[in-house]
Amino acid sequence: MTAPGRVGVIADSTLQGHLLSSAVKGQGYQVVVNTDPEALEKRWLDEGALDLWVVDLSSEDRWQAFLDNLLEDAAAPILFCDGQAPARTDARYPKWERRLVTKLVDYIGKPAVEERLDVIPQRPPQVKIPTPREFETIRPGDRPKRVWVLGASLGGPAAVKLFLDCLPANLPVAFVLAQHIDGSFLDTLCGVLGRDNNIHCKVGVDGSALRHGELAIAPVEYAVKFRHDGRIQSTGQAWEGPYAPSIDQVIQHVGEGYGNACGAILFSGMGNDGAIAAPRLAASGCPVWAQSADTCAVSSQPDSVRETGCVSYSGSPEQLALQLVERVRRELKNASSLTPDA
């Protein structure tokens, strides 16, 4: 498949054509033509012109002759949409987009995108947060009382690395990273993210444990859940949906294991993974944050979560780190003020 996958959109509504085109582009595919049936040029039907047609017509009866000719003449396969796209602000939109993406992957595979781990700059962060007094008694490796999910896709490793580099020692938080990546690169990613900072990184395989001051990278080959005692446990099944690991599932499983003692941050990436589970997490009272669009390599993933209305804070990786440290510091201070004197 030519990279990225070349897609043609045919819709008899300008709005539907725009929504379909935006959704397809947001997943990393290339929309080479977006047209209504009457304006379709025959050259796009030729062999090699594109890899897939995505067709959404409000009235098949009206366009029956056009559809007959399209089915006969188009060299590329045709994906017919099952219902018009809801508005991006509609609560149904993330699930509609997820169904579309799953079908795109089934037809032409995942878009060919390359995450260059070797080009992540090795430079000290502009912001290095000092260890708050409230953290000084925290012992690294303790069973976590707070777990934060970091969700990332294209451009995510560099943003997550910058976020981690800013964090102080003894931070009483365990992190779970759901990063869309080929499983063969997990060990390399682990080495890159844990370089020159206070966070110990590891691959969160079955039987391992979450600990304060550590980041566990969710495995690619199988889905995992998170027990309240910190243990990571395989579900025995693959991740759901077109991408692995599934950010939505990681958020869901961390929420099931830790209740309101968790949060989520969505970093740079394509698509809308996280946009289904993040609103549910926020509705349970947990914070959901996102990297600001202007600091992302690709912002469609955090943007899609922001559009659900569940994101309470957006910022650069450095600002997100500051916000997290201050939030945890306040929690510890408030907890100590409620503890009666011995």
Q: Facing residues of 225 across strands?
A: 233
pLDDT at 113: 60
Domain match, 128 and 72 both? no
Domain match, 134 and 98 both? no
Q: What is the DSSP string of 64-122?
A: HHHHHHHHHH-SS-EEE-SSPPPPTTSTTHHHHHHHHHHHHHHHH-S------GGGS--
17-56 pLDDT, tens digit per residue, is: 998 998 898 888 899 999 999 999 999 999 999 999 999 9
- Does residue 230 lie within any of the structural domains? yes
Domain match, 239 and 208 both? yes
Domain match, 212 and 261 both? yes
Domain extent for 287: 119-338
- Does residue 114 lie within any of the structural domains? no
Q: Which of 92-106, 109-123, 248-262 has the lowest mean pLDDT?
A: 109-123
264-313 pLDDT, tens digit per residue, is: 999 999 889 999 999 999 999 999 999 999 999 999 999 999 999 999 99
- Does residue 171 lie within any of the structural domains? yes
What would the two tokens of residue 232 be?
């990571």
pLDDT at 1 > cutoff 60? no
**Domain boundary residue, one of 88, 108, 128:** 108
Domain match, 88 and 130 both? no
Domain match, 190 and 95 both? no
- Does residue 42 lie within any of the structural domains? yes
Interatomic CA distance for residues 165 and 156, integer angstroms: 14
pLDDT at 242: 85
Interatomic CA distance for residues 26 and 304, integer angstroms: 10
Domain match, 313 and 212 both? yes
Q: What angle do CA 82, 86, 92 make, to 5 degrees?
A: 90
Residue type, 101: V
- The continuous run of DSSP H or E covering 278 comes out as helix 277-283
Q: What angle do CA 324, 329, 333 make, to 5 degrees?
A: 150
**Domain boundary residue, one of 78, 108, 138:** 108
| Per-residue DSSP letter, 231 | B
Q: Which of 275, 247, 220 is nearest to 152 (CA)?
A: 247
What would the two tokens of residue 119 be?
């080009």
Domain match, 75 and 125 both? no
- Does residue 113 lie within any of the structural domains? no
pTM for the whole structure: 0.83
**Domain boundary residue, one of 108, 136, 154:** 108
Domain match, 204 and 86 both? no
Helix axes 317-338, 156-166, angle to 10 degrees: 40
Which has the higher per-residue pLDDT, 4 or 307?
A: 307
Mean pLDDT, the chain, rounded, equals: 89
- pLDDT band at residue 183 under the 50/70/90 scheme: confident
Domain CATH code at residue 147? 3.40.50.180
Number of domains in the chain: 2
Domain match, 83 and 124 both? no
- Does residue 333 lie within any of the structural domains? yes
Domain CATH code at residue 30? 3.40.50.261
- Does residue 331 lie within any of the structural domains? yes
Domain match, 104 and 136 both? no
Q: Facing residues of 216 across strands?
A: 176, 202
- Does residue 187 lie within any of the structural domains? yes
Domain match, 96 and 194 both? no
Buried b (16+ CB within 10 A) or exposed e, 43-79: ebbeeebbbbbbbbbeeeeebeebbeebeeebebeeb
